[in-house]
Amino acid sequence: MLINCTAYQHGHKLADIAVDAISDYLQRPDTFVWVALKDASADELAVMKAEFALHELAVEDADHGHQRPKVEEYDDEVFAVMHLIEEHEGTLEVGEVHVFVGANYILSVRNRSQQDFLGVRARCEREPKMLAKGAGYVLYALMDAVVDRYFPLIEKFESELEALEERIFTKGAARSTIRRLYRLKRKVGVLKHAVTPLMEAAGKLHSGRVPEVCANSRHYFRDVYDHLTRINASLDSIRDMIATAIQVTLSMVAIDQTEVGKRLAAWAGIFAVATAFAGIWGMNFTHMPELEWEYGYLFGLGVIAASSALLYWRFRKARWL
């Protein structure tokens, strides 16, 4: 579906144009065309390929989707893939935006995502001096918008982790806490898979041999790279904290199990002594003096009770009971 198709000259909007008029505007000096598509079909991509002379391998990647974040250079064309991540009902959903950038055009294709870039276009149009840098600046603006949308996810992950850390020492909550920690770990992994490759790709646009179409905006891409570096460091920190929280939770489970084991062992020891005395006096040998004693039964019960009480006191003092 076509969202926008607009021509710009010297940083100012010329007009919203029809798709079949793209080739005419591409012939104008200091003019570039910005096209935005959503969930483009193979036929729509074929039309854009013909209008902009896009490289077939880049078009194939955009058509198939499910690509790793990357930046590739085909002669005088740059092809970028970024992941759009949004959370619905506690689950992260991953969409993609594929961007084709040339000297006088930029084409963005958004797939499987409800996030739009209308605000990016409006921001660029309010800054004609920056927009005059051409399609490379628009690529920066799109990439910057994608990266900025990662920060709220980081903050949400940190808040969720803090809440889970408070539950670690709550008795009876270990199973649900570990389950939620692993769920959070998977979310962090999804965002990590979007950030790390994109950070490597953004490095190609500000250092070393920068593609010509992005040369005028290389300093802005360095800002995107810095943001990605911060996000990546935060994700690493969150993952380490999750691993620590899981280990602490498992340690608390082991401690609780040890406490239960101590109680069971203490009661087993008490009953073992009582059982030993009862077993001795229950042997019924003929020559057992206690059998003929009038107070033998009461004496036996007293010895068992006294021994059990002594053991109970010792276990309480040792904090086993």
Q: What is the CATH number of the domain that holds 294?
A: 1.20.58
pLDDT for 281 beyond 80: no
Of 301 and 187, more confident: 187
pLDDT for 131 beyond 70: yes
Question: What CATH number has the domain bearing residue 130?
Answer: 3.30.460.20
**What whole-number percentage of the chain has pLDDT above 90?**
56
Q: Count how many residues are written for the chain.
A: 321
Q: What band does 122 get if pLDDT is binned at 50, 70 and 90?
A: very high
Q: What band does 239 get if pLDDT is binned at 50, 70 and 90?
A: very high
Q: Residues 143, 260: one domain?
A: no
Averaged pLDDT, 301-307: 85
Q: What band does 230 get if pLDDT is binned at 50, 70 and 90?
A: very high
**What's the token pair of residue 141?**
């603006």
pLDDT for 244 beyond 70: yes
pLDDT for 243 beyond 90: yes
pLDDT at 6: 94
Averaged pLDDT, 274-301: 76
Residue 60: inside a domain = yes
Q: Residues 265, 136: one domain?
A: no
CA 11-15-18 angle, 5° bins: 130
Q: Residues 130, 2: one domain?
A: yes
Averaged pLDDT, 259-285: 80
pLDDT at 286: 67
pLDDT at 63: 92
Task: Report how many domains make up the chain.
Answer: 2
pLDDT single digits (tens) 180-220: 999 999 999 999 999 999 999 998 898 878 888 888 888 99
Residue 61: inside a domain = yes
Residue 259: inside a domain = yes
Residue 91: inside a domain = yes
Q: Which of these three, 123, 147, 171, is where a domain ends?
A: 147
Of 98 and 175, more confident: 98
Residue 275: inside a domain = yes
Residue 29: inside a domain = yes
Residue 247: inside a domain = no
Q: Residues 261, 139: one domain?
A: no
Terminus-to-terminus CA distance in the chain, angstroms? 71
CA 115-83-179 angle, 5° bins: 95
pLDDT for 49 beyond 90: yes
Averaged pLDDT, 231-256: 89
Instruction: Give the domain range for residue 290.
Output: 254-317
Beta bridge partners of 80: 71, 99
What is the model's pTM?
Answer: 0.80
Q: 109 Cβ partners below 8 Å, 6+ apart?
A: 37, 38, 40, 45, 62, 97, 98, 99, 100
Residue 222: inside a domain = no
Reduced to 3 states, what is the DSSP secondary structure of residue 319? coil
Q: Which of these three, 127, 147, 167, is where a domain ends?
A: 147
Q: Which of these three, 102, 123, 147, is where a domain ends?
A: 147
